[in-house]
A and B are shown apart, each in its own frame.
Chain A
Amino acid sequence: MLDAFILGLATIFQWQTFLIMLLGIFLGFWVGLLPGLGGSTTLALMLPFIYKMSPVEAFAFLLGMHSVVATTGDITSVLFGVPGEGTTAATILDGHAMAKKGEAGRALGAALMSSLVGALIGAFALALSIPVVRPLVLTFGAPELFMLAVVGIAFISSLSGQGGRALLRGILGGLLGLLIAMVGQDPQAGVQRFTFGQLYLWGGLDLVPVLVGLFAIPEIIDLAIRGTAIAGDLPKENLSSGVWEGIKDTFRHFWLTVRCSLIGTFIGIMPGLGGGVAQWISYGHAVQSARGDEERRGFGRGDVRGVLGPGAANNSKEGGALIPTIAFGVPGSSAMAILLGAFFLQGIMPGPDMLDKYLVVTFSMVWTMVVANIITVAVSLIFLNQLAKLTLVRGSILIPFILFLAFIGAYTSNNHLGDLLVLLVFGLLGYAMICCGWPRAPLVLGFVLGKIAENNFYISTIRYGSSWLLRPVVLILIILTVVVLLYPFIRFERKGASEGDATA
């Protein structure tokens, strides 16, 4: 086992493999930055290039590319408020808010450093869990997946803001999200729901146009109305010096970063939960870390912890997502489904063999993720300060460029005019929500978890009747749901008690 671990590292440092990996990283870097190019699409396009490579080279190339996409996707999210990838949207909430406060450098430093920490933890969690991975994944059946979705939805209580009114808005937003997730043909009876006779809506709404609409369009409108640069007319001195500060932030809130990385890894392991989920749950967890109402209000207005959480999780989940793919031949995401094709191309049958006969290949994959992220972060740090200056460019010059990115990003998800309509509809919705003070995160959480919750609830009930409610992991998750739900109130109580002590 240890031999394979070290041998795996040695294999990716053979010069040929290493060069191929660098090429992959270079590609992934741009794919992440540009919203129009999705990570999984690019993986599919790159498959033909691996025919003549050895397994280690092929995976160094593909994973090198894939594992930096979420890292550089954060950069676009922070700078322009346009999600560079569907999986980096949560970074916008606080990352772009920081950019508007003139702290783009700090936000970028934090996003990149937390991405690195996340990738490292994800990779090592993958390495460590290899002996137990099969029983771990097999423990989580439909009832457990349903309860995980419920735990995720419970985070709405933390993402809604203070007070009964805010909580009500959050819950309503979450319900709207669940409703939006229902669009499309239902898998039980084959009924078309909310499709209005449109073929485009059969498969449901895509994550990317919805997210780009909800987040990018309001930022573009806001920028146009303000008529200034993204960073406004703030003093310029703290803009570029912030990168180092952001890196330090990662270590200031190190345990939060670690916890969010672990959340990301865990969600990545669960097949079918999808890439969109990890970032939002860790964002919710980051919000929970706020001490007191004052800090809580800072989230969404540029708290660095709101960058660290999703930044770490969207990278660490990639390590986790590899687990079902290699151990069962069952992909955890669309990118992994394409990677599975790469296994076949290399004549490797994913499954138990990967943990035994091909262990060196497996570990070389772990190491590729680690090394690729270290290289990307190191390279990015060199010119982050320059990138941060983009937030000083006058809005009227930037807007056409950002609009272009937003429209292309949405359109490439289906190459259909409907993508642009969805973008605009959700853009208006997002703007209206901001104007009226409604939080958008609960809506997104409802949207990304709706289908998972519905389908797994159905499977659980039809398969097990009501007996699934008594499965041990389900019981644990029910308790966890209650804790997550009540967390804001418990915190409030504690605070009330300590204030009481002070006055007494």
Chain B
Amino acid sequence: MRQLTALLFFLASLWIPGFSHGAAYYEGKTLTIVVGYKPGGGYDRYARLFQKFLPRYIPGNPTVVIQNMPGANSIIAANHIYSVAKPDGLTIGTFNNGLVIAQLTKVEGVRFDLTKMAWIGSTASDAAILAVRADVPHKTVDDLRKAKEPIVIGATGPGSSTYDFPALLKEFAGLNFKLVPGYSSSSDVMLAIERKEADGRGGSYASILPFIERGLVRPMIRTRVVVPEIEKLPVDEDLAASAKGKAIMAVRSTPEIIYRPYAAPPGTPAETMKILRDAFAKASRDKDLLAEAKKTKLPIDFVAAEDAVKVVQEVLRQPPEMAQEITKYIKFGD
């Protein structure tokens, strides 16, 4: 009889939230998501979407709050997560996926080691694409190479996919591009395309998609990251003539697999990490979350922690002379 009671209790502890160890931990606590940008941007909007649905999947239903910590293209937030925030599972952060390149190229101010972070995963992948205005006569990559007049590519500045991606295509794939950086935002570049000041742009597929649907631009080239509906586009690495070019392009685009990364401070206890990882994975499959994400045009495509770490390691595996070479072409910036 006693054994039966014990068994019942054991079963109950599996069923009823608030019974197991983890539940006791998060019960009545506050989980803070540090966002490396101001409110309203992509990173912030993803974080706020998960803020709403995470409590459902964390035993103990903690309150989830967003703390915006903008600056230096989210290096400040990543430094904070790495060395200031306590590894107690109550503070996690989201920051630029390109920070791994910043670490590789030893950008001044970087005080974190992404391989040592306690990774949760990434809520979405995205791929950089190159799009040109629909009325530009060049239809193929070869046309872009042989264009008599250079094709004007509008960009915000070095360190963003609007600049680095077309710059590498110009350098290593011999496309006849003229890069014009200095636009204050990627949507300003879009307007420049509309008024024919620029002919095309690079940028994330998700952000250009509305303008493809509107018929303003058409996609021409993609990166190695596979995104549905643009699988058939030529891939940048296949267009590069040299092995060096291919390698640099690969390093630039690999972090896009973990486009919206989430991680906790190094040393966060394993059982707490399991709760957080499970919560993110389950929330990413939540029907209501997916419905809301679809409406807000935030594609969801969860990448698990172990795969995220692999991405980080793959980028950081470059030999020092390669890292040096990359510094010439990719400047991490704000």
Contact = CB atoms under 8 A, between A and B. Distances in A.
B39 A458 contact: no
Given A190-B157, A330-B190, A347-B295, A199 B195 contact: no
A190 B109 contact: no
Nearest to A140: B195
Contacts of B194: 138, 328, 330
Interface string A432-458: 000000000000000000011011101
Interface in A390-438: 414-416, 418
A189 interface: yes
A51 B295 CA distance: 9
A415 B292 contact: no
Contacts of A451: 184
Contacts of A455: 182-184
Nearest to B49: A48
Contact of B210 (A43, A197, A349, A462): A349
Interface in A187-222: 187-190, 197, 199-200, 202-203
Given A272-B188, A328-B194, A459 B210 contact: no
A319 interface: no
A109 interface: no
Contacts of B67: 415
Interface in B149-181: 152, 156-159, 178, 180-181
Given A190-B158, A272-B188, A455-B184, A51 B334 contact: no
A274 B297 CA distance: 26
A51 B49 CA distance: 12
A331 B192 CA distance: 13
A415 to B, nearest CB: 6
A337 B72 contact: no
Given A142-B197, A414-B70, A330 B187 contact: yes
Nearest to A464: B197
Interface stretch (B40-48, B138-146, B241-249, B309-317): B40-48
B71 A416 contact: yes
A494 B228 CA distance: 70
A459 B184 CA distance: 11
A185 B334 contact: yes
In this complex, the member of B38, B69, B109, B331 whose beta carbon has the largest number of chain A beta carbons within 10 angstroms is B38
Contact of A328 (B44, B152, B180, B191): B191
A190 B159 contact: yes
A452 B188 CA distance: 12
Interface residues of B, number: 51
Contact of B180 (A44, A185, A462): A462
Contacts of B211: 329
A334 interface: yes
B146 to A, nearest CB: 21
B33 interface: no
In this complex, the member of A51, A199, A324 whose beta carbon has the largest number of chain B beta carbons within 10 angstroms is A199
B127 interface: no
A199 B40 contact: no
B52 interface: yes
Nearest to B331: A190
Given A43-B40, A138-B195, A455-B183, A187 B157 contact: yes
A47 B51 CA distance: 13
B214 A44 contact: no
B333 interface: yes
Interface in B290-305: 292, 295-297
B23 interface: no
B40 A334 contact: yes
A501 B272 CA distance: 88
Interface string A362-395: 0000000000000000000000000000000000
Interface of A: 40-41, 43-45, 47-48, 51, 137-139, 141-142, 184-190, 197, 199-200, 202-203, 271-272, 324, 328-331, 334, 337-338, 341, 344-345, 347, 349, 351-352, 414-416, 418, 451-452, 454-456, 458-459, 462-463
Given A187-B183, A200-B72, A415-B67, 19 more contacts: A45-B39, A48-B52, A142-B197, A187-B158, A190-B157, A199-B79, A202-B71, A202-B75, A203-B72, A329-B211, A329-B214, A334-B40, A338-B40, A341-B45, A351-B214, A456-B182, A462-B180, A463-B152, A463-B180
CB-CB nearest 9 A-B residue pairs: A187-B157, A190-B158, A44-B39, A199-B72, A190-B331, A455-B182, A44-B40, A202-B72, A338-B40
30 contacts: A41-B40, A43-B40, A45-B39, A141-B192, A142-B192, A142-B197, A187-B181, A188-B157, A190-B159, A190-B331, A197-B108, A197-B109, A199-B79, A199-B109, A200-B72, A202-B72, A203-B71, A337-B40, A341-B45, A344-B295, A349-B210, A349-B214, A415-B68, A416-B71, A452-B184, A455-B182, A455-B184, A462-B178, A463-B152, A463-B180
